[in-house]
Amino acid sequence: MTTQSNTAMSGPELRQFGLLFGAILVLLFGLLLPFLIGYSFPTWPWAVALLFAVLALLAPTALTPFYRGWMRFGLIAAFINTRIIMFVLYYMLFVPTGLVMKLFGRDALARTTGGKTTDSYRVASAVRPNDHFERPY
C-alpha cells in the first residue's frame, strides 16, 4: 500500500469531515441499527457526534489526527475489501462460466479454423450495401 496523502487538510475541509462523521455516526449507530435490531436508542452516538460537531465548528484543526487515522483505516479496509471482492468475483463468476463454456465446447475467441488448413484465424467481414450510410441511426 503505497498510496499516501501528504496534503494538509484545510479548516473548512476538516469542518466538513467532522460534521459529516458525526451525522453518519448518529444516523447509523444512534437511529438505524437500534431500530433494526430492536434495542433502545443509545445516547453515546449522540454524545460523540456532539463532540465532533463542537470540534468541527470551533477548532477544526483539532480533528487532524483523527482524520489521518480514519484515512489510514480506510486505506487498509479498501486493500482488504478489494482482494475479497476480486476473489469472490473470479471464483464465483469467471471460473464457473469458463467451465460451463468448456463443457459445452464454446470457444468465445473463435480460435479454431473448423478443420480448414489456413495460415490465419482472420474472418472476412460481410460487405455492407452503400445505403447503409444514409441512415446510420
What is the chain's mean pLDDT, rounded? Answer: 87
104-125: pLDDT as tens digits: 988 888 777 666 777 777 778 8
* pLDDT exceeds 90 at position 34: no
Question: Which letter, b or e, does each residue of 125-137 get, where b requires 16 or more Cβ atoms within 10 Å of its Cβ?
Answer: eeeeeeeeeeeee
The amino acid occupying position 14 is: L
| Threshold 0.75, pTM exceeds | no
Quote the cell numbers at residue 2. 503505497
Q: Pick the residue with more confidence: 1 or 14?
A: 14
30: CB partners within 8 A, 6+ apart: 41, 42, 45, 46, 49
pLDDT band at 98 (very low <50, low <70, confident <90, very high): very high
- What average pLDDT does range 17-26 have in this prediction? 94
* pLDDT exceeds 60 at position 2: no
d(CA 65, CA 78): 20
What are the DSSP E strand ranges found in the chain? none
Give the model's pLDDT for residue 114. 66
